[in-house]
Amino acid sequence: MKFLKHKESNPHISGYSSIFLDSLRLLAALVVVYVHAHDQWIQATNTSLGIRHLGHTSVIVFFVLSGFVIAFTTQNKNRGWKQYLQARLSRLYSMLLPALLISAIIEFTIFYIDFNMLSEYTRGASWPRYLFTMLFLNESGLISAAPPINRPLWSLSYEFWYYIIFSLFIFLEKGWRTYLIIVIFCCFAGPKILIMMPIWLAGTYAYNHHREFNNSNIAWFLVFASIFISVILSFVLPIIPFELGQEPMFYSNQFLTDYAIGIIIAAGLLILPMNRPSSLASKFVPIFRKLGDLTFPIYVLHHPFLILWRTLFGYQVNDKFEMWTAIISVLFITSFLGVYLEGKRYLFTNFFKWLLNLRFLNNWNTKYSFVMLKQQVQKK
């Protein structure tokens, strides 16, 4: 009896698989919000350390999902390198720039209301951190320079360089010039970002080598089991080689532990039931897509708003009711801002469309021979 079908060409994200992916990314963002609120309200214990690691595991989920979805879009919606960069850059900057502006305003506000509170979230001059983060250089080399008032922005630098390096492999013809360009960009990214890239690539592998189970019930059981196991491992696995947030590699310190968790998550996506249309699921796909789209604004905006809440209303250590009140309030605010900012994304799309169509880029395109990704159609 065969449990696996042959690989299907370009599996499509639809129906229950779409609902699952949107739900997973939203849940990961909510976990991050809870972890950061827990850090700020609840006195540190051994359990707190495990909860903090769960927050980092949520970012690993983001990396794997990102690789999976990027592989899907380049295989099914590929229209060339310009459209790829236009989509990726407009997506990142449409949230990053407002997040930096809001973070700066909140930091300025806290400075005048409660300087002692702000002192917990400043490390020297602030403006270089904002500049480095705006250019996605805040995690390059061996520095970690995201504004402390909005620490979650560290992961956007990782995502940016994964998008760029991946696009060079996909859209440039192979040759010594291409490899030289890739090496140069890898030097800009730095060792911390590169050492975590296999986790992102595990997501691309999961899509490009996707397999379908004949029995979707077994497949779904294994998919959910992979998520459950990754959660358990975030509590019980030893931290290898170093604790997070410290030198030499800060958020990449436990990369070996993260590899194990990332591989398990990717293994679940490898057998995610796809190409199985459902009239019932299709009715709910748009709803979950809208909810899933809130993931990004919630992730990049929640941290400074939690700190602002504590500054404006005060806080009591270990007061869980107060913590949950703050969480719900911040989720409402960030969701509202997310809907508004998503409506303005077209401004960034138009800007990058104009930028990427400048004459010198067209000349560079001809000189270095950008190519379209060829669709590989495999028959059973």
pLDDT in tens, 256-306: 999 999 999 999 999 999 877 666 777 888 999 999 999 999 999 999 999
Q: What is the mean pLDDT of residues 23-37?
A: 97
Bridge partner list, 370: 172
The whole-model pTM stands at 0.92
Which residues, including other chains, have CB under 8 Å from residue 151's CB and lie 6 or more apart?
Answer: 303
pLDDT for 78:
73
- Percent of the chain clearing pLDDT 70 (strictly above): 89
98 assigned to some structural domain? yes
Which residues, including other chains, have CB under 8 Å from residue 106's CB and lie 6 or more apart?
Answer: 149, 304, 305, 307, 308
pLDDT for 52:
84
- Structure confidence at residue 47 as a pLDDT band (50, 70, 90): low
Bridge partner list, 172: 370
Which tokens go with 235? 């509590």
Q: How many CA atoms within 13 Å lie on the side-chain side of 120? A: 11
- pLDDT tens figures, 315-355: 899 999 999 999 999 999 999 999 999 999 999 999 999 99
Contact 67, 162 (CB under 8 A): yes
6 assigned to some structural domain? no
What distance in Å separates the CA atoms of residue 194 and residue 163, rounded to the nearest whole number?
A: 12
pLDDT for 11:
75
2 assigned to some structural domain? no
- H-type helices in 216-358, by residue range? 216-236, 255-270, 279-292, 295-313, 320-343, 345-355
- Percent of the chain clearing pLDDT 90 (strictly above): 68
pLDDT for 3:
37
- pLDDT tens figures, 11-24: 778 789 999 999 99
More confident residue, 376 or 26: 26
What distance in Å separates the CA atoms of residue 202 and residue 278, rounded to the nearest whole number?
A: 28
Which tokens go with 180? 């030289």
- Structure confidence at residue 54 as a pLDDT band (50, 70, 90): very high
The closest of 1, 2, 21, 11 to 285, measured between CA atoms, is 21
What distance in Å separates the CA atoms of residue 207 and residue 194, rounded to the nearest whole number?
A: 21
More confident residue, 6 or 91: 91
272 assigned to some structural domain? yes
- pLDDT tens figures, 348-377: 999 999 998 876 666 655 454 455 444 443
User: Which domain, by its residues, includes 216?
Assistant: 15-368
The closest of 255, 272, 261 to 68, measured between CA atoms, is 272
| Count of the separate structural domains present in the chain | 1
Looking at every residue in the chain, the average pLDDT score rounds to 89
179-193, 224-238, 278-292: the lowest-pLDDT one: 278-292
Chain-centre distance for alpha carbon 301: 14
3 assigned to some structural domain? no
Bridge partner list, 246: 250
- pLDDT tens figures, 82-141: 899 999 999 999 999 999 999 999 999 999 999 899 988 988 889 999 999 999 999 998
Q: What is the mean pLDDT of residues 186-199?
A: 97
277 assigned to some structural domain? yes
Element (H, E) at 67: helix 46-76
337 assigned to some structural domain? yes
Q: Give Cα separations from 184 to 9, 136, 165, 170, 264 (angstroms).
A: 34, 15, 10, 16, 31
The closest of 197, 127, 195, 129 to 160, measured between CA atoms, is 197
What distance in Å separates the CA atoms of residue 194 and residue 252, rounded to the nearest whole number?
A: 9
376 assigned to some structural domain? no
